[in-house]
Structure 1
């Protein structure tokens, strides 16, 4: 009878591997058992409140529907109508202006304030003051702005005391959208300043000490230390702004409506306002199909821009 010799080390190694696999399987089984009670409710909640309505909105966008009665399938007809609708194209253009122009202004001011406040005495108090406008609801700012800028409001009263007999018509239709851009910049600057300051604060002091020993000036310190070590923070802020800018609605609706027309002038509309008016506040029959198509296009815009931002701003992670 032939016997096969087994080396003790090999046998022990196989046993260890079997034990390791058994332990790994036990952990995987435990994770699977915990998935349902811990992740399941959150996943169900997310699916019901976001995935389900999103899929249903896509379905509605392919139909002509007034919110009641039968739906009429029109395929891509609603999307074709949108790209032929001058009002939608204008609203879409306004959204792009808010996204890029206001976004550049917000990040320029926020980063400038971050650099100014970095070594400033009382920086925590200053940061709280800058952040305060973001805590106030945009609707309140819209109401207050309409109150102080109306012909008999606070601003024109102060200008009258200063000797200005013919103050500007602040609430004229052609001035509303620029004022909205200024207010959005003011409201959101504090939020992004706080995030960028947190990113700058995590840079260890010895980086600045090395720059001082090397004789680097302020621009070189900014280029070779601050920007590379906060690039991931800039990327996060860019994604957050992209998402929030496409959803801008309240301040346009309230401030634009302060002219007394109820619905804001069309030249101030964003795609969010266009979608709302088309679905709920239009003078004609509600067009839920057109409104859903507008919302889906906004979602597509955000998705494409977020993917592009992540690709463009992707860099190797620098360990601090």
Structure 2
């Protein structure tokens, strides 16, 4: 009696009576494994691992990019702790991660439940997704058109009798405007992902829940959320990573590439790194910059690990 072993998992014991050697198909797969994997590993090492290790090494030195490196130990990290600009940028990054993230996911779930049974939901989903692919420069120009002192919003408020409208693009309000723009541009992206998961949930589960008298919230809490939990976890990780990399939206709202920088009140960790490394106005301190980058990377790793730990659940089968 012959026994198939090509589908045997690594480390799994052979079935009784199985031959002591793998099948020809398994041998061919084993021979092709490294030829296919090595190019990807080489690309990953050259483009990601090597720069990461170099940045980690540089973070322990004082270096302006031209002269020789000088060992600084943890001095760059201590300088970050004492730098009020870095503290402000990390607080703003945390606001984006938590407050904007919660708003985006609440709206994404609400829109997903509304669109689940809507006629033409594919078209609406495409419309909601469209702002995500628009360049951030467009939103910066649009904000200037709408919210500058002589813009459309202030003109409308003046017509309503408001003599002193808020300074929308002032340093006190521009970060709120940036966060609102991020909500508008990111919600459609997560709606598209969540709807792809919700579309795979059998409709009879919702029909049974309706027959049992369940309302919209109970259907969401007991059907939609548990059966799309794996996708929600992936979305949470994606948001954690993207929130730490917010850069161009802050730059186009608060400044330009050559003339001025955004207000300090709007800086994020990515903008802090950019301003201290590539503006050319001061002597670059690449040791401090690399320390800021490593710190941001560690924060992403910690938040991702915590999210995956807190959101871990047993799989739900249906």
Determine helix, strand or coil for the equivalent of 1:23: coil
Inter-CA distance 30–125: structure 2 relative to 1 (3 Å threshold): same
Equivalent residue for 1:271, pick from 266, 269, 274: 269
2:252 maps to 254
Equivalent residue for 1:45, pick from 43, 46, 56: 43
Determine helix, strand or coil for the equivalent of 1:83: helix
| RMSD of equivalent CA atoms | 2.1
2:201 maps to 203
2:179 maps to 181
Between the aligned partners of 1:34 and 1:227, the Cα distance in structure 2 is: 40
For structure 2, list consecutive stretches of 5 or more residues without a partner in the other structure: 2-14
1:23 maps to 22
Equivalent residue for 2:309, pick from 288, 297, 311: 311
1:33 maps to 31
Deviation readout 1:189-237 (Å, 9 max, x if unpaired): 1000111111111110121122133333333222211111111111111
The 5 Å alignment of 1:124-273 reads 124-257=122-255, 262-273=260-271
Compare CA radii of gyration and give the structure with the larger one: 1
Higher helix share: 1
Higher mean Cα deviation, 117-126 or 272-281? 117-126
Between the aligned partners of 2:35 and 2:28, the Cα distance in structure 1 is: 12
1:283 maps to 281
For structure 1, list consecutive stretches of 5 or more residues without a partner in the other structure: 1-8, 10-15
1:6 maps to none
Deviation readout 1:261-317 (Å, 9 max, x if unpaired): 621011100010001111112632100000000000000000011111111100011
Between the aligned partners of 1:278 and 1:107, the Cα distance in structure 2 is: 33
2:95 maps to 97
Determine helix, strand or coil for the equivalent of 2:20: helix
Q: How many residues align?
A: 305
1:111 maps to 109
Between the aligned partners of 1:104 and 1:54, the Cα distance in structure 2 is: 30
Deviation readout 1:5-38 (Å, 9 max, x if unpaired): xxxx9xxxxxx967633125x5554334213331
Shift of 1:171: 1.1
Normalising by structure 1, report the TM-score.
0.89
